[in-house]
Amino acid sequence: MSENPKEIFLQIFDETNSSFLDMHLVQKNVERILSSLLPESLHSVDLDLLFVDDQAMKQINSERRSLEKTTDVLSFPLYQADLNIPHQHLGEVVISVDTLSRQAEEIGHSKIEELYRLLVHGILHLLGYEHETNEADAQRMRAKEDECLAMIFNS
């Protein structure tokens, strides 16, 4: 975890024009999350966020993972922790706003809560966290997700 200020270059692409997405707030919260997660050696990062509908997500999933279905969030990491360089592109997080909306309703919380749950999940994948390899990794990732979400919602 880092205490040094970081330069975070965030590009947000919203192909859905969803009314509940406050891009200024998304940027602020992503910067807070990344500032707490990035190692000391990393002084600046690039990150791309893309908000799409289910049709676009299915196409991305097909093209990049050969899976013919939509999903809630995809992460395409570029970050290499073993490189000791001060600037890196972390990668891309893609979120389906359609799936996000359905899941929020199914789970029984707000779209904003689901947005940040998916966003944190995607960012953690970019930084090397995994939940599908073993239970210890899954618990570690869930704990870090909870920590990041508390930073957003309990501040």
In degrees and rounded to multiples of 5, residue 28 shows phi and psi of -60, -45
Does residue 121 have a known ligand-binding role? yes
Q: What is the DSSP string of 13-34?
A: EESS--TT--HHHHHHHHHHHH
CB-count burial class (<10 Å; 0-12, 13-18, 19+) for 54: middle
Q: How many CB atoms lie within 10 A of CB 46?
A: 17
Residue numbering of the annotated binding site for Zn(2+):
121, 125, 131
Residue numbering of the annotated binding site:
121, 125, 131
